[in-house]
Amino acid sequence: MTKKQERTIILLLGALQGIGPFSTDMYLAAFPSIAADLKVSIAQVAYSMSSYFVGICLGQLLNGPLIDRFGRKIPLLLMLAVYILASVGCTMVTSVEGLIILRFFQAIGGSMGMVANRAIVRDVFPANRLAHVFSTMTLVMGVAPIIAPTVGGFVVVGLGWRAIFWVLAGFAFFVSVLVYFLLSESKGKDRSISLKPQAVIADFYSILRNPAFLAYTIVGAMNTAGIFTFISNAPFVYMELLGVTEKEFGWFFGFNAVFFVAGSQLNRLLLKYYNSETIAFRGLLTQAAMGVALLIFVLLGQLSLPVIMTLVGFYSLCLGMIGANAMALAIRPFTKNVGSATALMGSIQMGAGAVASAVCSYFYDGTAKPMVIVMTGVAFIGLLAIWAGSFRKTVTTNN
């Protein structure tokens, strides 16, 4: 593969992966407008985020076996079409229930991009380059969480909240055209892969029995839970508690996303000197420390814009370092059923994000305390998963 071909693949897969952050971050600033238009509370609108998480979780379990059986490209294009249709449907809803349902189907279609791009990376790049490639992809798709809330804020003020979903449909259509013309099939059909439920479940079970996959999938799941806990609570914390406007929200939220992208690029540098396990462990330690510091400020009633921007910024920096390494370490053992492995990993991660968001909603008390407690807790669970994985590896080696 030439350098030009490699850059084209990474740019295209990064754009494909960017559909996810655009779908979640772009309409955050529109929550108050959606609630007012549909005559419901912001908390009810937030269920459309939860339904999206559930759709992403289930969609990956569906899409993983499909790309193992039928190849990567055709299923990807079909599911992008589902995403586009659901996005257009969101522009026409007249009730919050309709928005919640269509966001679910939007996620089913969009989840294919998450599964396919990881599988394609595993198809075309050697195992020792996976973390580096994932970090590079994060640089490309990292533009999405930086600009999405800002763009969403301007769109909702200038054109109304429904226009956001027209923008999402247009972006997905553009990516579909790029996939059709520029992306070569990286793996052909495999008729040995069965789509019967029993066979699919057996494949998932065998994947889960891999100790490295299980340990680093949990690390990645806690990383995702931390990200989505902040995303789902950011509109309330910034706009309700700290008095930030819809337009300002995009800039402040984007500032945290800059740290996330910076972390992924710092990871590329650190990989020259340290292995992925070491970087992930140290990132989690730092992340846990930021969470504890943030919790102290909240408990003392001293939460302010500079405090949350600084501490969440460095928390996000660690997210960028942990995610790429956890992903690479989890799928590195696999060459067959790569789609199912990436789907299972992604589904568990999104499931963790959905559970974390639901926990915050259940314990909502009008403060930032539930968000901060969950963000801190998942960092410590990630540390425990790495320790357990390393301990098991040591015991196995000694025996």
- HEC readout, 13-59: HHHHHHHHHHHHHCCHHHHHHHHHHHCCCHHHHHHHHHHHHHHHHHH
Three-class SS state of 102: helix
Which token pair is 118? 């990881």
Q: Where are the domains of the chain?
A: 3-180+195-398
DSSP label at residue 184: P
Residue 140 to residues 251, 259, 264, 324, Cα–Cα distance (Å): 19, 14, 10, 13
Tell me the per-residue pLDDT of 229-263, one tens digit each, with 9 for 90 and over.
887 788 888 888 888 887 787 778 778 778 888 88
Which token pair is 259? 């740290």
**Domain range 3-180+195-398, CATH architecture:** Up-down Bundle (1.20)
Largest interatomic CA distance in the chain: 65
Closest among 38, 31, 373, 22 to 236, alpha carbons compared: 31
Q: How confident is residue 398, by pLDDT bands cut at 50, 70 and 90?
A: very low
Tell me the per-residue pLDDT of 154-190, one tens digit each, with 9 for 90 and over.
888 889 999 999 999 999 999 999 999 988 888 888 8
Three-class SS state of 228: helix
Q: From the CA atom positions of the chain, what is the Rg in Å?
A: 20
Which token pair is 326? 């956890």
Which of residues 157 and 109 earns the better pLDDT score? 109
Long-range contacts of 238-241 (CB under 8 A, 24+ apart): 239/32, 241/303, 241/367, 241/368
Q: Distance (Å, rounded) from C-alpha 155 to C-alpha 167? A: 9
What burial class does residue 212 get, using C-beta atoms within 10 Å of its C-beta: 0-12 exposed, 13-18 middle, 19+ buried? middle
Percentage with pLDDT > 90 across the chain? 30
Q: Distance (Å, rounded) from C-alpha 267 to C-alpha 391? A: 24
Tell me the per-residue pLDDT of 290-318, one tens digit each, with 9 for 90 and over.
999 999 999 998 989 999 999 999 998 99
Mean pLDDT of 271-289: 91
Residues 6 or more apart whose Cβ sits within 8 Å of residue 26:
148, 149, 151, 152, 155, 164, 167, 168
pLDDT, position 354: 78
Residues 6 or more apart whose Cβ sits within 8 Å of residue 342:
60, 64, 114, 115, 118, 119, 122, 331
Q: Distance (Å, rounded) from C-alpha 76 to C-alpha 103? A: 18
pLDDT, position 146: 65
